[in-house]
Amino acid sequence: MALLRLPTQLATPAKSRHQMYSTNSNANSLSWHRNLTPPLLSSLPSGKCNARSAASMICNASAAEAATGAVNLGPGTPVRATSILVVGPTGTLGRQIVRRALDEGYDVRCLVRPRPAPADFLRDWGATVVNADLSKPETIPATLVGIHTVIDCATGRPEEPIKTVDWEGKVALIQCAKAMGIQKYVFYSIHNCDKHPEVPLMEIKYCTEKFLKDSGLNHVIIRLCGFMQGLIGQYAVPILEEKSVWGTDAPTRVAYMDTQDIARLTFIALRNESINGKLLTFAGPRAWTTQEVITLCERLAGQDANVTTVPVSVLGFTRQLTRCFEWTSDVADRLAFSEVLTSDTVFSAPMNETYKLLGVEQKDIVTLDKYLQDYFANILKKLKDIKAQSKQSDFYI
């Protein structure tokens, strides 16, 4: 029986693989790296910080470069078009992708990093769970056997360097998908990522888009603006619990979208062969500022919020400060979003053409008003029921 031989690069440890893709431009390789001035801070005396210019990132890719480490081995045993692998299935979006796929009759396999608390809810739903880690390329190939489509929702954890999963891991995953003949690859990116090279995660997303395009894989890239679900923990719950709500004075507007709608539109796009190779942007019906979201939550909760406003200038200063220490550099990368907040950016996009392309009506897309109204109505009803039961118990005692 013939054995499947994978490209040597797929078994390369994460660190050496990143070094391989960070060589100079004359080496004909894809690269993602920062030009730091002065040199890396690890060489500075302990406790001292020298001023340095803002980090800039460069990524280069070509079709030949992307294919270097991923050879298409040709057709093998046919796989069902309903066989999909969801990468990042436990996240806010990932779990909705899994739920939608199962509801529509897909055979769903979920790639999950080994963890002390297994993702049993995925098995309970009917998905198959396999353990693998994008930062360990040798664990990836087995997860792709018998898979037709990869849906990539993964992103790194807050405590780990951004490039570990979002760059090195994605390069390994795309290379492996190419080598094993995956038929389609869906990648979620960030709206306007091509316009903010100063933000590490956004630049990585843009570089990954380029790498995927040049890989030769059939693909769909979907840029997202923001999730409605993320507003619950950020604003709704603190208001109900009378805790501080943190906000900024930034003018940035975000067209939040329900992740259930994102999942629904994703599978419509997946089944539409004319969308292969396209870049889509999914945005909610309206763009909201932070203050508008807080005001809406106050009205629906029937109580005022204890708002603590953090000036964007403070976030910018904090980012510069955390750059001065090696152990806080990842914090600085994430605070880089403060650069976006000061740019008066609108995270939104016209959706009329996308609706037409997908055969969707705008009226079927959940608005933020409706989403939060339903949430508060359900929560307040439960709170009233709990309070009534408590009073009843007190009466009989």
Per-residue pLDDT at 68 = 38
Determine the distance from the C-alpha atom of residue 30 to the mean position of all C-alpha atoms in its chain, rounded to a whole number.
22
Rounded mean pLDDT, 30-47:
33
Q: Residue 51: exposed, middle, or buried by beta-carbon count in 10 A (0-12, 13-18, 19+)?
A: exposed
End-to-end CA distance of the chain: 75
Confidence of residue 387 (pLDDT cuts 50, 70, 90): low
pLDDT over threshold 70, residue 213? yes
Per-residue pLDDT at 157 = 81
Per-residue pLDDT at 267 = 98
pLDDT over threshold 50, residue 3? no
Residues 117-143 pLDDT 10s: 778 999 999 999 999 999 999 999 999
pLDDT over threshold 80, residue 11? no
Q: What is the pTM of this model?
A: 0.77
Per-residue pLDDT at 382 = 83
Confidence of residue 167 (pLDDT cuts 50, 70, 90): very high
Which secondary-structure segment (H or E) carries 337?
Answer: helix 337-341
pLDDT over threshold 90, residue 319? no
Per-residue pLDDT at 113 = 92
The DSSP string of 175-233 is HHHHHTT-SEEEEEEETTGGG-TTSHHHHHHHHHHHHHHHHT--EEEEEE--BSTHHII
pLDDT over threshold 80, residue 64? no
Per-residue pLDDT at 313 = 56
Select the highest-mean-pLDDT range: 31-45, 98-112, 333-347. Answer: 98-112
| Out of 146-150, 251-255, 261-265, least confident range | 251-255
Per-residue pLDDT at 309 = 73
pLDDT over threshold 80, residue 269? yes
- In degrees, rounded to 5, the angle at the alpha carbon of residue 309 between the alpha carbons of residues 303 and 314 is 165
Determine the distance from the C-alpha atom of residue 334 to the mean position of all C-alpha atoms in its chain, rounded to a whole number.
13
Per-residue pLDDT at 198 = 79
Rounded mean pLDDT, 176-180:
96
Confidence of residue 392 (pLDDT cuts 50, 70, 90): very low
Mean pLDDT of the chain: 77
Rounded mean pLDDT, 220-244:
92
Residues 340-351 pLDDT 10s: 655 567 889 999
Rounded mean pLDDT, 13-39:
35
Confidence of residue 88 (pLDDT cuts 50, 70, 90): very high
The C-alpha atoms of residue 86 and residue 149 are separated, in whole angstroms, by: 9
| Out of 43-52, 212-221, 349-358, least confident range | 43-52
